[in-house]
Amino acid sequence: MVRVNGVEVARSNMPTGAISFTTKAASVADGTGETTADVLNIPTFALSIGTKTIAIEVHQKSTATAADFSLDARLDVTR
């Protein structure tokens, strides 16, 4: 899930509805899903002129003690 200034602007592999820190991902990312990048498009209104804070929230489907977590993030801006 991606938030800009505290407002959700994109999500992937998460259930619909409200999300809390205990919400599990909709499905397990295994095999090629562990190395395939999700491309999330952030609406232009969320990135209007001004200072922005971008937060990325990650949830696993497996148990809280699973040790196979990773995150790579990149922001590309096209005008």
Q: What are 27-72's pLDDT values in tens digits?
A: 887 766 666 778 888 888 888 889 999 999 988 887 666 667 778 8
C-alpha closest to that of 62 among 31, 26, 11, 15: 26
How many Cα atoms occupy the beta-carbon half-sphere of 15 within 13 Å?
12
Between CA 49 and CA 39 the distance in angstroms is 23
7 in Cβ contact with 43 (< 8 Å): no
Q: What is the pLDDT of residue 27?
A: 82
Q: pLDDT per residue over 6-26, tens digit each?
A: 999 999 889 999 999 889 888
pLDDT at 4 over 90: yes
Q: What is the pLDDT of residue 16?
A: 93
pTM for this predicted structure: 0.76
13 in Cβ contact with 29 (< 8 Å): yes
From residue 56, give the alpha-carbon distance in Å to each of 6, 10, 73.
10, 10, 9
Q: What is the pLDDT of residue 65?
A: 65
